Amino acid sequence: MVCRTLFVTGTDTGVGKTLVSAALLHHLAHHHARVIGMKPVAAGLVEHEGQMVSEDVLALRAASTLKVPPEFDNPVALPEPLSPHLAARRAGRVIKVADLLTPTLALQEQADALVVEGAGGWRVPLNDDETLADLARALRAPVLLVVGLRLGCLNHAMLTAEAIRADGLSLAGWVANHIDPDMACADENLATLRARIPAPLWGVVPWSAAPDATRIALDLPERFR
């Protein structure tokens, strides 16, 4: 059976990629036994059970059905919450797409469904020459775009959708996440995005001070179930 793989990106950092990725994992677990969430690069760590780990990675692990070694589901963990290329530089490391591709392909061999969560937005740099988009291109994975509904999201969402298509990848769908409870004209902005993003809307996440991935309703197409 071919592993269903989805690459999750966002219009920016802090738009809810991890929340949506965890929700996807919960939905996929209703259809598959071996479901894994992966964050190839995580920048910004906290102490957890005596180890330094990304909170995003912890959320993905909690939503996965298969436990794997950390060098597979989070091969690069960087202490400081910075762009990956800067966090790596300050940690004395170099990140290369080839080094991220190996564990990702290994997880595809183990999983029925794999959700790969990016860091930041689509063009976030990994090093002087590569971005995380290059990993998605190497995987040839369809992309899910998480749009954080706030002022400026229209431009960010449409530019990101254009960039994904320009890189030769399929924009499988998008999710709208209400991250600003005071956003003016939220419904009108959502209607604009529906009209201008050439991909299906998989779900709308309402504002919540304490969002729960298990309660998020997503409409996954049959080919991703």
Residue 209 pLDDT grade (very low, low, confident, very high; cuts 50, 70, 90): very high
Name the residue type at position 217: A
In this predicted structure, the answer to whether residue 89 has a pLDDT above a threshold of 70 is yes
Neighbouring CB atoms inside 10 A of 201's CB total 16
Residue 204 pLDDT > 80? yes
**What pLDDT is attached to residue 1?**
65
Mean pLDDT computed over 41-48:
97
> Per residue in 107-121, pLDDT tens?
999 999 999 999 999
Closest to 223 (Cα-Cα) out of 144, 132, 168, 136: 144
Task: Check pLDDT > 80 for residue 90.
Answer: yes
Catalytic residue among 17, 39, 67, 96: 39
pLDDT band of 222, cuts 50, 70, 90: confident
DSSP states of 24-77 as a string?
Answer: HHHHHTTT-S-EEEE-SEEE--EEETTEEE-HHHHHHHHH-SS---HHHH-SEE
Q: Tell me whether residue 96 is one of the annotated catalytic residues.
A: no
C-alpha 64/C-alpha 94 separation (Å) is 28
Return d(Cα 183, Cα 196) in angstroms, integer: 20
Q: Which residues contact 131 (CB under 8 A, 6 or more apart)?
A: 122, 123, 124, 125
pTM of the model: 0.97
Output the pLDDT for position 225. 81
**Residue 127 burial (10 A CB sphere; 0-12, 13-18, 19+):** middle
Do the strands 143-149 and 4-10 form a parallel or antiparallel pair, or are they unpaired?
parallel
| Cross-strand partners of 121 | 10
Residues with Cβ < 8 Å from 186, sequence gap 6 or more?
Answer: 149, 178
**Is there a contact between 134 and 164 (Cβ–Cβ < 8 Å)?**
no
Task: Give the percent of the chain with pLDDT over 90.
Answer: 96
Indicate if the pLDDT at residue 2 is higher than 90: no
Question: What confidence tens digit (pLDDT) does each residue in 163-175 have?
Answer: 999 999 999 999 9
Question: How confident is the model over 92-107, as pLDDT tens digits?
Answer: 999 999 999 999 999 9
User: In the predicted model, what is the mean pLDDT of residues 201-206?
Assistant: 97
| 163 Cβ contact list (under 8 Å, min separation 6) | 122, 123, 133
Q: Which residue has the higher pLDDT, 40 or 222?
A: 40
Distance CA 198, CA 162 (A): 9
| pLDDT at residue number 182 | 96
- Domains of the chain by range and CATH? 4-224 (3.40.50.300)
User: Chain-wide mean pLDDT for the chain?
Assistant: 96
